[in-house]
Structure 1
Amino acid sequence: MNQPMNQNLQPKIKLNNGHLIPQLGLGVWKASLAETQQMVKEAIMNDYVLIDTAKQYGNEAAVGQGIQDGFKATGRKRDSIFLTTKIFNGDQGDYDKLRQAVNEQLKKLQTNYVDLLLLHWPVNDKYNESWRALEDIYKDGQAKAIGVCNFNVERMTDLLDHAKIKPAINQIEFNPLIHQPKIVKFCRENDIQLEAWSPLGNGRLLSNDVIKQIADEHQKSPAQVILRWEIQQGFIVLTKTTHPQRMKENAEIFDFTLSPDEMKQIDKLDQEKHSIWYDKFKWSGNPDGVDDYIGKPGAF
């Protein structure tokens, strides 16, 4: 049975290839298989149509089944959702290996294409060859758009020097505690859309006095204020929750606006500190023990 679309979740952003992406979506990092399947189903039932996963998360199969469950519950079809997955670091650098890996990922997701395919990390000496494979995947229709994650200015510049197709998106860590202004400015100047992972800063800001005061003034939650701060800057935002009520709450951010002064107050919280584990990756792609994460849902 078809459900009426929630108008709050209608805003979309046009990528540099013309493809439209919803501005608010659901990420499934650190979710177990059972949690992932249920949260994806619940997300679709609550009109979330952007779903973001990755091979590294170990839960693509659960995402695929959750999507099918959501379709059964709502009557939706494949073209009504925007599905993103990512290339695992260990599959980078080898054209044939990467393409085979993507075929396997699509099988797990129960689809013959994704709307967005991203390089998960800029692995040294491998990302340009990996990008060549993504360009062909895009040309063959297995991905409607292609992009990257965690690229800084140096590596994005190098990629653009070698690429035939410009990345549509750079997915980066972005929240009031880390703004990454150099790469944000570079991407905007080069028509590369920005997408925020860890938009709530792993929950570290939910008890912040500045955020709480602004939230009280708007009769909103601290999480809603933070997400609104990112939305107003034009970011695509990926939230993560296993609770249906919080999914609904996270979506209720299009009925209020933060003032310029409130935006500046939140801007001042910047510390330019990455997540505690971020430097483990650096640019080598496979830090010690990272292979142990594959296939284990809940891994980063």
Structure 2
Amino acid sequence: MEKKLTITDIANMAQVAKSTVSRYLNGGPVSAKTREKINKVVTENNYQPNTFAQSLKQKVNHTIGVIVPRLDSSAQVEMLRGLDDANENDTFLIVNTYQSTKRELAAIEKLRTQNVGGLIVLTANLNDELRNALTEFDAPVVVQGQEEPNFHRVVMNDLQAGTVVGEFAASLHPQNTLLLKIDETMDWAIGHDRFLNIRKKLSTSKVTVVDSKFSIAEAKVAAQQAMQSQNFDLIIGATDRITIGALQAGLATGQNAQYIGFGRSDLSTTVTPNLTSFEYDFYQTGKKIYELFCTVRDTNPSNTIRTVLDGELVVRDSTEK
């Protein structure tokens, strides 16, 4: 009598873990590459699973790994608050990677060994090494922050935001504009997408572009360096914090400029003048991230799901002459 194939046999033949084979057989989340390997073994050996045993074993893992690039960001904090408020039955394991690829890779591996039921990644940028690690992760993965077509994702409509800000900026008729952005290699959405259409809308006026960091202090230094040789009548920062750093630099150097930021934080309405800003609801973004994760976990969709969130321009005193 021919020996019946076991889960251990399938795992050895496919060169994967037994737990991965178990998830595959129970309809759980498995990466496309791994699924293909297991499916080949199952098909070639005409394996027939014990459906009664499967029905007893099927459970949902309610521990979710959440990877964040930094915790000194009001946007990140609000998204985490939205995640938590939307959550009913899950436990979050939150890892701060300090915008380090090495730390992010280590976090993915650590969470994999802890057999979490999925990953939510709030990311600045993904490189090929991170993409590969997330692709191989045998559980649902949802990415926020970057346009990554191979992953389920929640993204902010930064191209549309740039268009709105650019049109408003052009209506101010600036003669000399300073754009304080983030290095695109650090954050493509904030460093590139937010400014692409701003630069197009301001193509007829003089524009100086300077890379900054996210902190108010570093943005102040970057702005002051640009202001040593020029006077600006409009300054646009990649975030509210960056714009506030520029505002401090402008006050210190006697600039007579108007200011526009991006984000949604208490800082916008506590500085003087109050800051005109393109605002996203990051709390609701957190809820949308959790909603998408649950959809992916519960339905295991064959195609990636993309959720796009818009914002609005809130005009305040900083753009009034």
Shorter-chain TM-score range: under 0.3
Higher RCO structure (Cα 8 Å, ≥6 apart): 1
The TM-score normalised by the length of structure 1 is 0.26
Which structure is larger by alpha-carbon Rg, 1 or 2? Answer: 2
TM-score, normalized by length of structure 2?
0.25
Instruction: Pick the structure with more strand per residue.
Output: 2
